[in-house]
Structure formats: structure tokens, C-alpha cells
């Protein structure tokens, strides 16, 4: 049954995972996302749905537990925050190389190094451009509300199994920690072993007769075969780019200036639009919902109608590179953002727009 509750973003992710019929969550505590595993341990989903929850000895162990469960065709997920996500990169590369479905949540904090525990969007490069070794892609969903923290668990698993690819929910300390009203989805049943065999039996290691056995690996000793495997991955990524781009356009009709921002920065930019209106400025916002695949086409087309674009992110300028690639020099693109755990105010964004784009 659907239910409306007031929840933290991290709690919404946890509750949504139970309702999605996830089979296993493996985690390790790190601020600002520890509520995910705390909520699950308190909620005892193994009693509600049979979902396994385990606190691993490290983020590395947790992502490899996800690997093992995902290779059995099960819905497996983990969550962490920036330093912990760095530790998971090896596992993510193996999961992508072995074409396993899973959902990983990053509640980003300020870096580099141990950094801060406050919100940041400085893991964009790591998430969107790779992070681990080799040519692979994560499908990246960027929630901007507690509602989306909940909704993207289902969306994430749908994409993960559709493409047999890891999905990252790239959140941050702001979305993870803030409380909002959230409409929770009805409980889905977990798949039975027979249902998993029917759906994923062509690849999942479920125990089989020798003549029908399954192998999960990312190793090919012959480079010709490894190249072919990469061709297959690249073809899949082109399909994802064709089918799965998601973004939101706010106030873009007749806008003179465009903001591009995702996640918590997009929330801040909505207030900036209002402040702009009071000053007689017509400002639009494109909010990428998928960071990969990136809404390049929408930004390219929007660039024709505006005088300049400001990419706003809680980093020293990462997504702005993809905005510039999309715009391809048609109009001026600048970056603005506080970083290291500091959050820009709507006023600061407006001032930056005035200085860097309108007056610049």
C-alpha cells in the first residue's frame, strides 16, 4: 500500500529498498549516510520481506558482497559516501565488466581526502567519467528531493536489470539528511528462485548442470576477445544514451539566461529563478536527472535561445565540462559553486550569474 511519510532522504532510500523487493543490502557506516543501514537494521526487513542486511567489514567487502549476490540474479545494493565510494571503485569496475545489475548510492560529502561531512557535488568526475579502471559507464541518477531518493531505487533497479549494468544514485549530504514529505510505493514481492531462473537464468549463477553452467567473469586473456567484449559494452552504452536521458526544464520558455544544475544545487537554483524575477531577469533551469547519459541535446538546443549559461554545482567545476561540450561554443558557459562542504545561497548564485554571464 502507498503511504505518505515525513522522512530523511537516507531513510527514504532504505525504506524504498525494502518496498522494491530488494534481496540484499550490504553496507558500512560513514557520515552522512549511516542512516541507511541504521534504518534497515532497526526495521528488520529480513522479517518483513526476507531481505538480507549485513554490515560488512569494509566498503570493499560490501561492494564485493553485492557482486556475489548480483551474479545470482538477485537485487543487491550498497550505499556509502565519497571516501567509501572511492574504495568501491575496484568492485564497480568488476561489476560493470561482468555486466551485473546493482544499485549503489553515494551520499556525497566534501573532499578530497577525508574532507568534510557536509554536502558536496565533487564526485561528479568519479561517478560520470569512470572512477575505476577500464572503459565502462555507470548509469547515474541524481535525486533532488527525498521523493526522488525513494523513487530512484525502483528506477535504478529497472535500469540495472534492463541493461545488466551498475546504477549509481548520486545524492549528497543535503538530500540525504533533509526531511521532506515522501510518497512511498506499495510493497513489491521479492522474486522467487524460479522467477529469477525464468528472467535471468541465461546468465545468473544459480547452480546448474555442467552442460548449462554459468560463469561470471570480467577476464579475457586474449585481447581480441576483450576488444569484442568492450565493443558489446560500448554498443550497450549507446543504447542507454539513446533511450534513458532524463532531465527537467524549469521556466525555460522565453528565458534569457540558463542555469544548469542537478541535485541539491538545482533546488537552490529554483529560488534563484524567483529572486531573478523580482529583479526583472528571466532565468531558466535545466536539471539533469541522469548525469550519464547526460542531457547534452536538450542543453545544446536550449543554448540557441539564451544569452549565456551558468553551470551551478557544489564543486570547483566538474559538470560544467559536459555543459561546455554540449553547448559547443554557441554561447558563453561559466561555472559557479561553493565547495569543500560549503553550500551556495540562492543570492550567491544570482550574483554569480550577474557577474559572470549578464555583466561578463
Give the binding site for other proteins (CB under 8 A): 23-24, 26, 52, 54, 56-58, 60-62, 64-72, 74, 76, 90-91, 94, 98, 193, 205-210, 213-219, 221
Smallest gap, in angstroms, from Cβ of residue 191 to other proteins? 11
How many C-beta atoms lie closer than 10 Å to residue 271's C-beta?
14
H or E element: which one contains 67? helix 59-70
Q: Would you say 17 or 290 has its CB closer to other proteins?
A: 17
What distance in Å separates the CA atoms of residue 78 and residue 298, rounded to the nearest whole number? 32
What distance in Å separates the CA atoms of residue 32 and residue 187, rounded to the nearest whole number? 27
Contact 298, 286 (CB under 8 A): yes
What distance in Å separates the CA atoms of residue 18 and residue 22, rounded to the nearest whole number? 6
Q: Would you say 68 or 341 has its CB closer to other proteins?
A: 68
Instruction: Give bridge partners of residue 54 from the DSSP assignment.
Output: 26
DSSP 8-state class, residue 358: I
Q: Would you say 62 or 303 has its CB closer to other proteins?
A: 62
Q: Would you say 132 or 295 has its CB closer to other proteins?
A: 132
Smallest gap, in angstroms, from Cβ of residue 74 to other proteins? 4
Smallest gap, in angstroms, from Cβ of residue 203 to other proteins? 11
CB-based burial, 273-304: b 16+ in 10 Å, e otherwise: bebbeeeebebbbbbbbbbbbbbbebbeebbe
Contact 141, 289 (CB under 8 A): yes
Q: Would you say 78 or 121 has its CB closer to other proteins?
A: 78
Q: Would you say 23 or 313 has its CB closer to other proteins?
A: 23
Smallest gap, in angstroms, from Cβ of residue 280 to other proteins? 57
Smallest gap, in angstroms, from Cβ of residue 137 to other proteins? 19
What distance in Å separates the CA atoms of residue 21 and residue 341, rounded to the nearest whole number? 34
Smallest gap, in angstroms, from Cβ of residue 46 to other proteins? 10
Smallest gap, in angstroms, from Cβ of residue 67 to other proteins? 5
Instruction: Give bridge partners of residue 287 from the DSSP assignment.
Output: 248
Q: Would you say 62 or 139 has its CB closer to other proteins?
A: 62
What distance in Å separates the CA atoms of residue 117 and residue 109, rounded to the nearest whole number? 5
Amino acid at each position: 500500500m502507498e503511504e505518505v511519510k515525513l522522512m530523511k532522504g537516507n531513510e527514504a532510500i532504505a525504506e524504498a529498498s525494502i518496498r522494491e523487493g530488494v534481496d540484499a543490502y550490504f553496507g558500512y557506516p560513514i557520515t552522512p549516510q549511516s542512516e541507511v543501514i541504521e534504518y534497515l537494521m532497526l526495521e528488520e526487513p529480513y522479517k518483513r520481506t526476507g531481505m538480507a542486511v549485513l554490515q560488512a567489514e569494509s566498503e570493499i567487502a560490501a561492494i564485493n558482497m553485492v557482486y556475489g549476490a548480483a551474479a545470482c540474479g538477485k537485487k543487491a545494493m550498497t550505499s556509502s559516501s565519497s571516501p567509501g565510494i572511492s574504495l568501491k571503485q575496484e568492485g564497480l569496475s568488476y561489476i560493470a565488466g561482468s555486466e551485473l545489475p546493482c544499485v549503489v548510492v553515494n551520499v556525497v560529502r566534501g573532499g578530497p581526502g577525508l574532507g568534510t561531512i557536509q554536502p558536496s557535488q565533487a564526485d561528479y568526475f568519479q561517478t560520470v567519467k569512470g572512477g575505476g579502471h577500464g572503459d565502462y559507464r555507470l548509469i547515474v541518477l541524481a535525486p533532488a528531493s527525498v521523493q526522488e531518493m525513494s523513487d530512484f531505487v525502483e528506477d535504478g533497479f529497472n535500469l540495472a536489470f534492463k541493461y545488466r549494468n551498475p546504477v549509481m544514485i548520486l545524492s549528497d549530504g543535503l538530500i540525504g539528511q533533509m526531511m521532506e514529505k515522501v510518497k512511498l510505493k506499495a510493497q513489491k514481492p521479492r522474486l522467487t528462485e524460479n522467477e529469477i531462473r525464468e528472467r535471468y537464468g541465461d546468465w545468473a549463477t544459480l547452480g546448474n548442470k555442467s552442460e548449462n553452467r554459468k560463469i561470471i567473469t570480467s577476464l579475457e586473456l586474449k585481447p581480441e576477445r576483450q576488444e569484442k567484449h568492450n565493443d558489446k559494452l560500448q554498443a550497450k552504452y549507446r543504447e542507454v544514451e539513446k533511450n534513458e536521458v532524463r532531465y527537467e526544464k524549469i521556466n525555460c520558455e522565453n528565458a534569457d539566461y540558463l542555469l544548469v544544475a542537478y541535485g541539491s544545487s538545482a533546488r537552490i537554483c529554483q529560488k534563484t529563478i524567483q529572486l531573478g524575477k523580482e529583479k526583472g531577469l528571466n532565468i531558466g533551469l535545466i536539471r539533469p536527472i541522469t548525469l550519464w547519459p547526460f542531457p547534452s541535446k536538450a542543453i545544446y538546443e536550449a543554448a540557441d535561445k539564451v544569452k549565456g549559461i551558468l553551470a551551478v554545482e557544489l564543486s570547483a567545476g566538474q559538470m560544467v565540462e559536459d555543459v561546455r561540450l554540449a553547448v559547443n561554443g554557441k554561447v558563453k558557459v561559466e561555472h559557479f559553486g561553493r565547495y569543500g562542504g560549503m553550500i551556495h545561497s540562492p543570492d550567491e548564485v544570482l550574483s554569480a550569474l550577474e557577474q559572470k554571464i549578464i555583466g561578463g
